[in-house]
Amino acid sequence: MTDSGSAEQSRRPAFGEYATPEEQSRRAGRPLPPPVVHTPPAAVPGAQPAAPAEVVEERSAHPVDRMASIALLAYGLWNVITSTFAFLNPSSLMATMMQAVGISGTFSNYSQARTWGMVAGILLIVGWVITAAWSVARLRRGKLTWWLPVTGGVVFVTLTTLCMMVPFFTDPAVIAYLNQQLQK
């Protein structure tokens, strides 16, 4: 019998183990704790659910980055507009380039310059649109974005410069000037 008594005692709960907090407080002589009422938040009709706290903090974490990105995109747009007009009128652009290098001849490769100018203009416009769309998407997610307009500008200005170098270096006056420089 002693074995069954010790087994029965080991199965019994200890004092207050299964008691609720109210029962424990009442037996200990303490005041009852306030009841905890769990109510779900009321949904406001027509309101969108609030964004998580970390997303809100992340969006407002870079106000200087937002201003810098928008300013760089605006500068890029101005550059695209003015450069595209210059690319569509290649005669004055190529004459200016020849004067800057010091070539005394006149530019005569107009048909090729017009074609490559249109390609460069379209490439610059498409590049700005891609850069702006990607920048806006990153700004909306609250990510660091200032570097994207800078990188897009460098990449697409380099590509358009290469496009305009094709008719420049195939012009007879430029080829004659380069041959003259190599013979010195």
Q: What pLDDT sits at residue 105? A: 84
Distances (CA, A) of 123 to 80, 106, 134, 154, 183: 10, 27, 16, 13, 37
Q: How far apart are CA 131 and CA 68, in angstroms?
A: 14
pLDDT tens by residue, 44-86:
566 565 555 554 444 555 889 999 999 999 999 999 999 999 9
Q: How far apart are CA 92 and CA 117, in angstroms?
A: 12
pTM above 0.85, yes or no: no
Q: What pLDDT sits at residue 58? A: 46
Q: What pLDDT sits at residue 169? A: 93
Q: Which residues of the chain have pLDDT under 70?
A: 1-16, 33, 35-36, 38, 40-61
Q: How far apart are CA 160 and CA 85, in angstroms?
A: 13
Sign of CA dihedral 158, 159, 164, 167: positive
